Structure 1
Amino acid sequence: MMRRLGSVQQKIPCVFLTEVREGQSAKRDRQQFQVVATERVNPVALEANIACALATEKLDGTCCYVALYKGQPYLWARLDRKPNKQAEKRFKKHQHSHRSSKGFTWNVEEDFKTVPEAWIPAHRVKHHNGRPVPDELGHIPGWVPVEGDNKQYCWHSAVVDYEVGAALVLRPNADEGDVLEIAAVPLADLVEQTLELIGTSVNGNPYGLGSKKRPVHCLVSHGSVKVTTLPPLDFQQLRSWFHESPEGRVEGIVWHCGDGTLLKVHRHHLGLRWPDGEPCFGNRSVVVRVDWTAEEYTGGKDLFASLSALNGHRFSRLQDIQFDP
């Protein structure tokens, strides 16, 4: 049986040591510096024996978590607790003059925006005097349960059915590893896992799923999409792989080490654009395995019902999934 992969609860360190350089960040608006990889491998990676780690594709969506809420398995959306305007100004000023967030002092009670009552901090967030401590970005990573009446999380809601206790999961097919499948998976089987929500209305939809008229969203368990063509851990070889290999058209790589350590590299770390051409994930073939009767789902436009009507159907590319008009 395969070992349980690390869940993504906080910022994952880069597999290379990084440095800060002047210039507009390609990832974050209003950030006037870039974090780029150097050619030196992060000692954390060597200590965790990264040579034996499982390399997986980093997918471009939004992070989710499955955990109990009100006594049943629920999907939780990522919600970082962020500083208010005054505190953010002080923090940015400190960052600019020190080129770092080190040495900045937060007043967690007064400096942060309020969050919903059900909000919980992510695992491994440091605490001081019983209160969660912000990370180097000035955020406190956390989660909020996805409830049906919250419009902000309507795309999260589309992939779960709490009455039936299931979620729509996109995963490699057990018999054909290069083929993906969309399946309705019991939420109870996903408890304590983190997953990526991808689809039509998430992060510009780099994988081309669905359309505005008929949106398609699904969850992908972190660590489930393996990368087998990766070169040795060398800066230049990895950069060439991302830049030139068809399999390298991915947002990044996450390594799952045997001791639970997670490490990553993002195209931005290597000075490369994302997306750049068609991502290889959107070009993988997919089979629909949502085999439930329509009566189980209320509402004809429901994504579960729509996919049930396509049960057993195979599409040559993920981006080709279409429903009859």
Structure 2
Amino acid sequence: MRRLGSVQQKIPCVFLTEVRNEPSRKRDCQQFQVVATENVNPAALESDIHCAVATEKFDGTCCYITTYKGEPYLWARLDRKPTKQADKRFKKHQYLQKTCKGFVWNVDEDFREVPESWIAAHRVQHENGHPVPDEHGHIPGWVPVDHTNKQYCWHASVVNYDSAVALVLKTHGEDEGLLEIVSIPLVDLMEQTLELIGTNVNGNPYGLGSKKYPVHVLVPHGVLHIRNPPPVDFQQLYSWFQECQEGRVEGIVWHCDDGTLIKIHRHHLGLKWPVGDSFLNTRPVVVHVDEKLDPDASEKDLFKSFSSINGKFFSCIQDIQFEP
């Protein structure tokens, strides 16, 4: 599995963007939205976007695998965010100035507390030894996923620390058109970022599982390549998202040769997401999960559930159901 760029920071849009005074299609209660112009972002051109690897952008929550207490561990995304008062001042500045730039933060007073185990993401800038916010007013970071923390119970369902493995969705080694769900040693995923998708994540845009039998998996960033990507041109990208089956995705992330990541989201183009029949659900999937489990494991243990259908093929991941 080729390792592409790690998602540690907010990824810039492939086009220059502007703020419009109209309700956001992406965030409820936000009375402005950020949309793409037709001008390609100079940062994308500098990184040779036209030679980059185009991959599917997944709609879930970002995770990271790195060491915790000497062992490989799954970490959940937790950005350190402003207090309500500070965020109000920031949003007012953004609305009036039509840009995030130029706003001055008081990092000691303007940001919420985070757990002691929290770490800042790679490349977060520091001043006087303290991390400072990005242009969006966040300090990206991570917290380790503990099975005792109910806030991260869906993250915890895709890792087994006793066996040191994770449940991962990826392309099949011998057939790129076939997906597979496998258990992969955490050590083999070290320093990678992945997207947690499933029943209880971001409104479940892919329609996975059910309330009684939820389905969640990790998708390594960059693992699902777009086979016939459109040129980096506003109108051609717009048409691709609208008219092509492969364009029924949340967005594209380009992985440039210099390590830079560039993205486009359907919302940048004024297009709806989620869509009813996403491209993910057009691809067959096979399950290869055969874990030796604790005999006392719950019937709803995700590793146990996947092990019960080990070797089975499905027309798409949405068809995987664990109901008896």
| 1:243-254 map, 5 Å | 243-254=242-253
1:105 match: secondary structure: coil
* 1:297–1:305 CA contact under 8 A, matched in 2: no
Distance (Å, rounded) in 2 between the aligned partners of 1:112 and 1:242: 37
The CA distance in 2 between the partners of 1:297 and 1:198, in whole Å, is 27
The answer to whether the aligner puts 1:269 opposite 2:268 as a matched pair is yes
- Indicate conservation of the 8 Å contact 2:124/2:132, yes or no: yes
Q: Distance in 2 between matches of 1:143 and 1:94?
A: 28
| CA displacement, residues 243-277 of structure 1 (integer Å, 9 cap, x when unaligned) | 01111100000000011010000001111000123
AA matched with 1:31: Q
Matched, 1:202 2:201: yes
Aligned match of 1:68:
67
- For 1:174-213, list aligned pairs within 5 A: 174-213=173-212
- 2:308 maps to which residue? 309
**Where do 1:49-198 residues align within 5 Å?**
49-198=48-197
Contact 1:294–1:308 (Cα < 8 Å) also in 2: no
CA distance in 2, matches of 1:318, 1:271: 28
Judge conservation of contact 2:18–2:98 (CA < 8 Å) in 1. Answer: no
C-alpha distance in structure 2 between counterparts of 1:301 and 1:99, whole Å: 48
For the 8 Å contact 2:9–2:140, the answer to whether it is kept is yes
**CA apart distance, 1:175:** 1.1
User: Which residue number in structure 2 is paired with residue 27 of structure 1?
Assistant: 26
Contact 1:24 1:33 in 2 (8 A): yes
**What amino acid is the match of 2:209?**
G
Shift in Å, 1:90:
2.1
Q: Percent identity?
A: 67
Q: Whole-Å Cα distance in 2 between the matches of residues 86 and 212 of structure 1? A: 36
* In structure 1, C-alpha distance between the alignment counterparts of 2:15 and 2:96, rounded to whole Å: 25
CA separation in 1, counterparts of 2:138 and 2:266?
23
> Residue type matched to 2:266 in 1?
R
Query: How large is the RMSD of aligned CA atoms in angstroms?
Result: 1.4
Q: Which residue does 2:233 correspond to in 1?
A: 234
1:258 corresponding residue in structure 2: 257
Call closer, same or farther: CA 1:136–1:59 in 2, change over 3 Å: same
| Matched residue count | 324
Give 1:114 shift.
0.6
**Using the alignment, how far apart are the partners of 2:267 and 2:314 within structure 1?**
31
Distance 1:89 1:270 in 2: 27
What is the alpha-carbon distance in structure 2 between the residues aligned to residue 33 and residue 324 of structure 1? 43
Tell whether the 8 Å contact from 2:252 to 2:263 is kept in structure 1 after alignment.
Answer: yes
CA distance in 2: counterparts of 1:102 and 1:115, whole angstroms: 25
Q: Which residue of 2 aligns with 1:5?
A: 4
3-state SS of 1:57 partner: strand
What's 1:215 paired with? 214
Q: Is the 8 A contact 1:166 1:187 kept in 2?
A: yes
Contact 1:14–1:263 at 8 Å: present in 2 too? Answer: yes
Equivalent-residue separation in structure 2 for 1:45 and 1:237 (angstroms): 17
The 3 A distance-change label for structure 1 pair 297 and 144 is farther
Native 8 Å contact 1:182 1:286 kept in 2: yes
| Structure 2 unmatched runs, 5+ | none
Is 1:283–1:319's contact at 8 Å kept on the other side of the alignment? no
How far apart, in 2, do the equivalents of 1:5 and 1:66 lie? 14
Deviation at 1:295, TM superposition (A): 4.2
